[in-house]
Structure 1
Amino acid sequence: MAKGYWVSVYPAISDPETLTAYNELARPAVQAGGGRTLAVGGRVVAHEAGITQRVVLVEFDTFEQAVAAYESEAYQKALVALPDGYERDFRIVEGLD
C-alpha cells in the first residue's frame, strides 16, 4: 500500500513566533493520526519557481491515513489556530508502492 505525505510550503510568513498555538495543536494531532514529521524548515535549495521559505514534510503509512488525519477534529482545531499573515500551499500526496 502506498504511503501518504503532507507537503506544506509557506510562501509568506508574517511572524514565525505566532505559529506557536498552531504547532502546539498540530503536533499531537499529526502524531495521533499516525504521522511522522520528516522535515520542518531547515535548509532548502529551490529551483525553477521553487520557494525557499518554510517547508514541512510529514509521512503516513497510507494515503488514506494522511487524508483522515487532515480531516480529523483535532487537526481542524489546529487549522483554526493558524494565524493571519500566513500563506500556505498544502498538499496530500500519494507515494509510490
Structure 2
Amino acid sequence: MAKAYWIACYREITDPTRLAAYAQLAGPAITAGGGRFLARTTAAKAYEAGLLERTVLIEFDSVEQAAAVHDSAEYQAALVALKGGAIRDLRIVPGVD
C-alpha cells in the first residue's frame, strides 16, 4: 500500500494567534492518528504561482488514514480554532508505489 501525504500550503496567515491555537490542537491530533511531520516551515523557494509562506508536509500510511485524521473530532476542533486565522490549500495525495 502506498503512503499518503498531507500537503498544506498557506497563502496567507491572517491571525498568528489563531494559527498558534490551531497548532496546539492539530499537532497532537495528527500524530495520534499516525501522521509523521516531514516538513513544517516557511518555503525555502517558491516558483510559478507559489508563495514563500508556511508549508506543511505530513506522511501517513494510507490515504484512508490521512482522511480519517482530517475528519476526526480532534482535528475538526483544531479547524474551529484556526477559523479566520489563515488562508490555505490542503491536499491529501497518494505516494508513488
- TM exceeding 0.5: yes
The aligned residue for residue 21 of structure 1 is 21
Deviation at 1:43, TM superposition (A): 4.2
* Distance in 2 (alpha carbons) for counterparts of 1:44 and 1:16: 20
Between 71-80 and 41-50, report the one with greater CA deviation. 41-50
The aligned residue for residue 86 of structure 1 is 86
The aligned residue for residue 53 of structure 1 is 53
Instruction: Mark the runs of 5 or more structure 1 residues left unpaired by the alignment.
Output: none
In the alignment, residue 2 of structure 2 is paired with which amino acid? A
In the alignment, residue 65 of structure 1 is paired with which amino acid? Q
CA RMSD in angstroms comes to 1.3
Equivalent positions of 1:7-46 (< 5 A) are 7-46=7-46
In the alignment, residue 88 of structure 1 is paired with which amino acid? R
Q: TM-score, normalised by structure 2?
A: 0.91
Q: TM-score, normalised by structure 1?
A: 0.91
* Distance in 2 (alpha carbons) for counterparts of 1:4 and 1:43: 21
Deviation at 1:15, TM superposition (A): 3.4
Q: Percent identity among equivalent residues?
A: 55
Instruction: Mark the runs of 5 or more structure 2 residues left unpaired by the alignment.
Output: none
Give the total of aligned pairs.
97
CA contact (8 A) 2:9 2:88 kept: yes
* Distance in 2 (alpha carbons) for counterparts of 1:44 and 1:29: 27
* Distance in 2 (alpha carbons) for counterparts of 1:12 and 1:31: 25
